[in-house]
């Protein structure tokens, strides 16, 4: 990946570094052959980071920074780039801790932008979410489209605060001249998801790992764009290095647009299990994403030069499951 050479000699902060996307981004940087880069992997759980990044324990380029983005960052490192990938993206948080979800999404951006402003940061990459689009009208989502979000629903804590955080990036750009770019990943899957992650693909994988049938708690008719995590982080690199300041970019694999039911059937087939139906409880329903169709255009991202890596969704899901074993 030739673009990564542009980071030679740079110092980067990656927040949410033990999460699905953040950890894969750290891997991409540190597995690049002979890349002279300094990476600070920031997260709240030092033990999880120790396990996840064990291969880098003797790599002088790697540093763990114990940090909660809800607090101001207290260190004296001048980061050239900050990649902010920390977020509570699991439905159980939306259902049980909507206040904390909102404050973390908004204050996390503020705290990091304030730090970057005071320490000569070159660029800030905010990993937002495709949930900012809300419920659409059936069209494919381009970056200039916004659908309906019920602002009086606690479940809207996530999309509403992601929207607000994006606006905060724009405000810092306008008022303080800060260079910010925004990524909007579609539903992203891959290995090394955390123990608390109860997104549907993670639940389905846990089912087959335990030798169980996959439990569906809805009709599964919701239609989504998906993206394998390695494709997602390669897109993040393009946005970081080639994206236009102040702009947002969708991330998705347009060959991986399927329903939740089709996803369940794919994972069940890989694990030689079947799909069964079960009624959700009230707490589970409270965390559900109510959007019926969420399909992304990636034309703007592809104009930067990004392309999805070879392989279909089933092969990448098999790779995910094998690494989770």
156-165 pLDDT tens trace: 999 999 999 9
| CA nearest neighbour of 40 among 6, 4, 73 | 73
pLDDT digits (tens, 9 = 90+) for 279-318: 666 665 554 556 789 999 999 999 999 999 999 999 999 9
Instruction: Confirm whether 325 is domain-assigned.
Output: no
Instruction: Confirm whether 266 is domain-assigned.
Output: no
d(CA 22, CA 35): 18
pLDDT digits (tens, 9 = 90+) for 81-140: 999 999 887 777 888 899 999 999 999 999 999 999 999 999 999 999 999 999 999 899
Instruction: Confirm whether 127 is domain-assigned.
Output: yes
What is the domain count for the chain?
1
What is the distance between the terminal CA atoms of the chain, rounded to a whole angstrom?
28
| CA nearest neighbour of 130 among 202, 187, 199 | 187
Surface-to-core class of residue 283, CB atoms within 10 Å of its CB (0-12 exposed, 13-18 middle, 19+ buried) = exposed
Instruction: Confirm whether 233 is domain-assigned.
Output: yes
Instruction: Confirm whether 154 is domain-assigned.
Output: yes
- Percent of the chain residues topping a pLDDT of 70: 95
d(CA 313, CA 228): 8
Instruction: Confirm whether 298 is domain-assigned.
Output: yes
Q: Write the CATH number for 116.
A: 3.40.50.720
Instruction: Confirm whether 205 is domain-assigned.
Output: no
Instruction: Confirm whether 216 is domain-assigned.
Output: no
Range of the domain at 141: 2-193+226-254+293-310
């Amino acid at each position: 990946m030739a673009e990564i050479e542009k980071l030679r000699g740079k110092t980067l902060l990656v927040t949410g570094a033990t999460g699905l996307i953040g950890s894969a981004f750290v891997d991409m940087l540190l597995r690049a052959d002979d890349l002279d880069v300094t990476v600070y992997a920031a997260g709240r759980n030092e033990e999880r980071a120790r396990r996840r990044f064990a291969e880098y324990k003797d790599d002088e380029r790697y540093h763990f920074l114990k940090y909660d983005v809800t607090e101001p960052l207290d260190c004296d490192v001048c980061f050239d780039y900050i990649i902010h990938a920390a977020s509570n993206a699991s439905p159980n948080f939306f259902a049980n801790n909507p206040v904390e979800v909102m404050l973390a999404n908004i204050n996390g951006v503020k705290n990091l932008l304030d730090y970057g402003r005071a320490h000569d940061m070159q660029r800030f990459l905010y990993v937002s979410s495709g949930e900012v689009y809300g419920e659409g009208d059936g069209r494919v989502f381009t970056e200039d489209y916004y659908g309906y979000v019920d602002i009086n629903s606690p479940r809207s804590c996530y999309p509403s605060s992601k929207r607000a955080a994006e606006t905060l990036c724009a405000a810092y750009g306008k008022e303080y001249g800060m260079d910010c770019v925004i990524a909007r990943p579609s539903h992203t899957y891959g290995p090394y998801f955390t123990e608390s992650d109860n997104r549907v693909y993670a639940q389905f994988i846990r089912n087959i790992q335990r030798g169980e049938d996959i439990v569906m708690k809805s009709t599964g008719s919701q239609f989504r764009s998906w993206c394998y995590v390695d494709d997602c982080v390669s897109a993040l690199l393009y946005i970081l290095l080639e994206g236009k300041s102040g702009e947002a970019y969708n991330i998705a694999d347009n060959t991986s647009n399927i329903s939740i039911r089709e996803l369940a059937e794919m994972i069940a087939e890989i694990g030689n299990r079947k799909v069964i139906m079960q009624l959700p409880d009230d707490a589970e329903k409270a965390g559900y994403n109510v959007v019926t169709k969420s399909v992304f255009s990636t034309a703007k991202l592809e104009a930067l030069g990004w392309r999805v890596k070879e392989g279909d969704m089933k092969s990448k899901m098999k790779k995910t499951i094998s690494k989770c074993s």
